[in-house]
Each structure stands twice: as C-alpha cells, then as structure tokens.
Homo-oligomer: A and B are copies of this chain.
C-alpha cells in the first residue's frame, strides 16, 4: 500500500542551545516521508524553488521515496523557516518564515500519487488540504495535521478538511484551541463527533475516528470512540533539535498503519482490538503504530534536522521499540 504526503519541503535555519544550522533540509513532508519510508512506499507532493539542491532530493530518493510530484517552480524560492529554541527546548520562537513557492501553490497530483490508498495532509493551508483530499476520493485512510495559525485564520476550512479525514494528528495545545475544550479527552471527543463519522462512513463521507494528540517531550495520546491510549516519549539524555519531531512522529504512525493495511494486518482478533477506527484498524494495531511513531520521533531529535533519520536503520527502530515497551509496561495490577 502506498502513501501520498502533501506538505512543505523546506530549508530550515535552526538554533538550539546545542548548536545551529544555517540551511538544512526540512519541511513537514520531508520529515514525514523519511520516517514513513521505513514501513511503506511514499510519494511526496510539494513545491520547491530553483534553489533546491540535487543533494537534498537525493536524501529522499536514497530512501526509495517517489519524488515525481516534487514540483520545481522556475524562478521560485524554496520555503524557508528560521527558528530558535529555549534552553529546555520546550519553547521555540519563529524568527522568519518565507513562503516562497508556497504562495500560489496549486497541488497537481500525478495519477500515481492519486492512486495511493493512504494520504497524509501535512500542515498547510486547509484549502489546499481539501483540494488534495478531493483528488484522492477513494483513499482508505486519510490523516491530517495542522497548526495554530490555521485555527486562528481559517478555522471553517480546517474543520471541513478534518471532517473529510479519518485521523487528526495535532499538538495537544492546538487540539484544545481548535475545540475550545480545556482538556485532551473532551477536546478529542468533540472532534470525534464531527462529520457524523459513524453514519456518514456508510455513504461517501466520513469523519475522524482516530485522534492523536502530540505532547512533545511528554509523549502522545490516542483517542478513538471506543478507547484511549497514551505513551510517554522515549527518554533521551541528550536532545539536540526538536525540529520536525511531530512530522517524523506522524510518518512513523501513518507508515506503520499503511504497511499493516497492506499486509492485511489490520489486526482483527488481536487482543484488546475492537474493530474500531476506520472499520479495519484494531486498537492493538493503532497502539503499535503509536509506539513506532514515538520511536521515530525520538531518533529525529538526536541530531539536527534530518541528520539522524537519514542514517537510521530498521534494526535500530525495532530495538528502540522493544526498549520503549520495556520502560512503559507494568504488571500485577488489573
């Protein structure tokens, strides 16, 4: 099963207490794709400018990522972000954002990208997300990320986009902001009620049935109509740069799900599974996907930008997933 991701391909300038990079490969679609490619085929859709280098494209190509829909805009400049993190990396300040080729971007998906069964709408303007969503009407699993900016200036369009998805992946604080609910559980329940998911799924439409709240260094939570699951972050003694961690998390999560759907391993019959999300994703599968997402994100923050994930191996992922299991499980209760 293949995954199409639409989102930013960028150059980032980042300063953390542990160093800085003046111009490194970044962007939500890039971080997502590099993580998801460990599990399944990935096609990237997004614009770059004349300034985008061959060596950056090679980073994606080397992982087998399909870059046929990476559109080079003649005379354009690649999306650029400059940010700075505080001493504990929990606060970050955006110093500069240059949309470049993202201004006026109209996603044109090739037949191959439109044929994917899984779609990830990374954080871009919600109208663009809806546009792309409409180009994959038959996708089996569609997930969306967003940010506070769009909640503030384009909420109606964003809500409409979310209603056409199966899964919302959002920062914890943004999920509260989006729903105006003070806590995670009530915020997630609110989104689960959108789009009348349960009944509309029988017709063409659908509504979100899987909500993932990213909590940064504290981990992440998963809320479906039936169940709740939460996982702490993998503990690291040294964190260098959190840039892209959320998109890497999403890549691990969606990539793992896509691979499981491909292998028919939706997980029916797994202990604790409940049929649940999207009618075929078991609770056990979603939990394993959360674990892999957590692991991918933990590697991402060990070095700047994509530097760690670029040289990551599947063996390292599996080993850390086992460690994550060991540090979160307990017995003798329940």
Q: What separation, in Å, do the CA atoms of A320 and B87 have in the docked complex?
A: 37
Name the contact of A232 in the complex, choosing from B89, B232, B236, B324 (C-beta under 8 A): B232
Interface size class of A (residues with CB under 8 A): 35 or more
| Residues 221 to 238 of chain A near chain B (Cβ within 8 Å) | 221, 227-233, 235-238
Q: What separation, in Å, do the CA atoms of A185 and B233 have in the docked complex?
A: 12
Count chain B CB atoms within 10 A of each CB in A183, A233, A290, A334 and give the residue with the most: A334
| A64 touches B (CB below 8 Å) | no
User: Can you give 17 A-B contacts (C-beta < 8 A)?
Assistant: A87-B182, A89-B183, A183-B237, A183-B239, A184-B235, A215-B218, A219-B230, A221-B232, A230-B235, A231-B232, A270-B331, A272-B331, A284-B331, A288-B331, A290-B330, A325-B330, A328-B329
Q: Is the CB of B287 within 8 A of A330?
A: yes
Chain B residue with minimal CB distance to A220?
A: B232
Q: What separation, in Å, do the CA atoms of A233 and B230 have in the docked complex?
A: 8
| A106 touches B (CB below 8 Å) | no
| A192 touches B (CB below 8 Å) | no
| A108 touches B (CB below 8 Å) | no
| A186 touches B (CB below 8 Å) | yes
A residues touching B (Cβ–Cβ < 8 Å)?
A: 17, 87-89, 176, 182-186, 189, 215, 217-219, 221, 227-233, 235-239, 270-272, 284, 287-288, 290-292, 321-334
Chain B residue with minimal CB distance to A320?
A: B334
Q: What separation, in Å, do the CA atoms of A239 and B229 have in the docked complex?
A: 18
Q: Is the CB of A271 within 8 A of B331?
A: yes
Q: A182-B88, A235-B184 are in contact. Are A333 and B327 (CB under 8 A)?
A: no
Q: Is the CB of B324 within 8 A of A189?
A: no
Chain B residue with minimal CB distance to A329?
A: B329
Q: A231-B232, A330-B284, A330-B290 are in contact. Are A182 and B325 (CB under 8 A)?
A: no
Q: What separation, in Å, do the CA atoms of A292 and B332 have in the docked complex?
A: 11
Chain B residue with minimal CB distance to A321?
A: B333
Q: Is the CB of B237 within 8 A of A185?
A: yes
Q: What separation, in Å, do the CA atoms of A324 and B232 have in the docked complex?
A: 14
Q: Which residues of B contact A182 (CB under 8 A)?
A: 17, 87-89, 239
Q: Is the CB of B327 within 8 A of A229?
A: yes
Q: Which residues of B contact A325 (CB under 8 A)?
A: 330, 333-334
Q: Which residues of B contact A235 (CB under 8 A)?
A: 184-185, 221, 228, 230
Q: Is the CB of B327 within 8 A of A238?
A: no
